[in-house]
Amino acid sequence: MKSAFWPGLLSCLMVSPTRRGDEGRAFRRGLHLLVVGCLMCVQAVGVQAEDGYDLWLRYAPAAPATAEHYRSRTTQLVMPAPSATLAAAHAELRRGVAGLTGQAPDPAVAVTRDGAVVAGTAASSPVVAGLRLDTRALGAEGYLIGSVRVGGHAATVIAANTDVGVLYGSFHFLRLLQTGQTIDALDVRESPRVKLRVLNHWDNLDGYVERGYAGASIWDWHTLPDYLDPRYTDYARANASLGINGTVLNNVNANALSLTPMYLDKTRALASVFRPYGIRVYLSARFSAPMEIGGLQTADPLDPAVRRWWKDKADEIYRLIPDFGGFLVKANSEGQPGPQDYGRSHIDGANMLAEALAPHGGTVMWRAFVYSHEEPEDRAKQAYTEFVPHDGKFRDNVLVQVKNGPVDFQPREPFHPLFGAMPRTPLMLELQITKEYLGFATHLVYLGPLYEEVLAADTHARGTGSTVRKVIDGTLEGHALTGMAGVANIGADRQWSGSHFDQANWYVYGRLAWNPSLTARGIADEWVRMTFSDDDRVVAPVVEMMMGSRQAAVDYMTPLGLHHLMGRGHHYGPGPWVQGGPRADWTSVYYHHADLQGIGFDRSATGSNAVAQYFPPVARQFGDVERVPEEFLLWFHHVPWDHPMASGRPLWDELVMRYARGVAYVSGMRSTWDGLAPHVDAPRHAQVAAFLGIQQKEAQWWRDASIAYFQTFARRPLPEGQLPPLHPLAYYEALQFPHAPGDGR
């Protein structure tokens, strides 16, 4: 376009002198405006704004000295690409290096000068084979990145046992460049600690995303399989850059139509896009599908016709998609059909599906998020009660998928007591990336500290050090089949996740699924450098904002162990007064038990005794009101309003101060972000600033509404210096939000 524009403009300038009088003057004035406008456009191109679409794969130009240094270390790319996966890695390396240094490495068949990058497997690359590298410990997905000499020339090698390992190594190499790391003496060896690293999309076939806050589903089922949106490839690139190797395409509240031939062909098309990036597709299976699309009269898992139907369905799927991953199942939970409808057990249902998938190498991910039709004594106990008796009875291709906490993705929960309690059954940790209970997409809440907190929690199943991390990576009990699942926050919004900072939660999930021992802070530092700037003037304050943001949300929403206080159904905003309806355990009053004497759910030995589901050292700590960590005080105990806290304040005053602390933190984030305006592109800075404004307003709403409600029980004045709520309680109780996004259907 540039080469066509400038000659055309020059030709106009050459013609203009032939114009005479008013016509000529008018022409020249118009031409002057055209030139000025064009120059403004050219200037704008030089400072292109960003919209977030590129995520952490921006490959923004490095500082001049850094770019020159990296150019000298990436002069050639010696990488045969006989497979689609190696071709993807080859393209990514050239794209990334070109963006960062201004010059793509020259493709070459041999190393002929210093600075070559050699990539491949011993099978795909004669140069890699000639290096005789020891890759035995890397496994099927691991890789090494090393500084070597080839034919007397300094080079960098990215080697693996498989093509997908080379792809993962290529992304790691680019991450080093993006974060300004030295690459002069590399000796990196990485392998994933967890086998299945999967996203769960709660996407419906009509494009609606349950608990989604980033627009409609990215899967356009209407145009599939004939049109493959380029966005699908970018989705695969982003996931491969993190090592995510599986995706469940449809909602756990599944529609049986997903298993019909028409939709399986659409799934086949998506699988073809994802395959080069090492990503296998999975489907949520509706347990009653044999009745709804198979014409059977029952879905009883012990019925021979039902078992035959599932085997035939599995065979049909694998004929279309040979690397199909398997099924995710939500059964006998929130009204979903399941084996208990026929007097059968979770074992019967999961093993029936596992039997159908086993000949093809498929996996069943059977969710432990269950609660009975009858109102339980304590919903937090339900999963443990139902699943522990089945330990060791699941087939070896079944993973029991367990949420991080025993209730439902709350801002803070203790770790789920199932972790460590089923030593003969591999458990798959389920985390929520989308922020159903944490302010949707408009609140800046970095979930890395939440994930790290649960992974580091000590179950004491085999003594001190028996962390959840060791349970889910298989090292505690020696399981080979391991997994982590993340409920995706991805939608059709241009920036993918509904807000720029919510991209960080996708990123941190993927990095921790690859290696659960990484730190939330270290991952945040990577993400900021890759997403916004490698300038420490940006990185340091933004990382600090992120690291405190989750605690701030806990403070202004559910401090001191309170939980499930959100609005009914949509979970938007405060609703501690919610009561009534079809189930008591869908209300707030069920969980906080506030009365004139105090507040909190008694799960100690004098209450529901949920503490007994933990191993004795944990149970003793959680069950003792004097020893329980204050962040879980009201989760496990009903405590008097005047109970003395570690701060020296009584409980009521401490509760109010925690709410205020959360609001103050958001105010501080706004100030910090405002100060970064010169260092962040204007469009992204403006959206984040606007969302922080929303967050501060809603944090204040949470604080005021909660205090107004709980003060009716505490009947105590606010601590000195604390202002009363802006409105009376009746105002907050009357607020309605029938069109809040993401509610279940």
List active site positions.
334, 408, 436
**β-pair partners for 650:** 644
Q: Exposed/middle/buried for 57, CB within 10 Å: 0-12, 13-18, 19+? A: buried
Phi, psi of 280 (to 5 degrees): -95, 145
Q: What tokens does 198 get?
A: 């999967």
Output the CA–CA distances (angstroms, integers) from residue 697 to 497, 547, 551, 701, in the order listed. Answer: 21, 21, 17, 6
Using CA atoms, how far apart are residues 496 and 691, in angstroms rounded to an integer? 16
- What's the full length of the chain, in residues? 745
Query: Which residue, among 142, 240, 81, 193, has the nearest Cα to 133 in the 3D structure?
Result: 142
Q: Which DSSP state fits 587?
A: S
Strand order in the sheet with 76-78: 106-108, 76-78, 116-121, 153-160, 143-150, 187-190
Q: What is the secondary structure of 634-648 as a DSSP string?
A: HHH--EETT-B-TTS
Cα dihedral 705→708→713→714 (10° resolution): 110
How far out from the chain centre does Cα 609 lie?
33
312: number of Cβ within 10 Å: 12
Partners of 566 in the beta sheet? 574
76 DSSP β-pair partners: 106, 116
- Alpha helix locations (H) across 580-632? 589-592, 616-623
> 165-203 burial, b for 16+ CB within 10 Å, e for fewer?
bbbbbbbbbbbbbbebeebeebeeebbbbbbbbbbbbbb
- C-alpha to C-alpha distance for 167 and 174, rounded to whole angstroms: 11
**Between β-strands 280-284 and 326-329, what pairing exists: parallel, antiparallel or unpaired?**
parallel
Contact criterion met (CB below 8 Å) for 569 and 744: yes
Any idea which residue has 């090592």 for tokens?
243
The torsion angle over the Cα atoms of residues 201, 202, 203 and 209, rounded to 10 degrees, is -120
Triad 688, 691, 697: Cα angle to 5°: 145
| CB 105, CB 76: distance < 8 Å | yes
Residues 6+ apart with CB under 8 A from 308: none
- Nearest C-alpha neighbor of 70 from the set 113, 110, 102: 102
Contact 89, 166 (CB under 8 A): yes
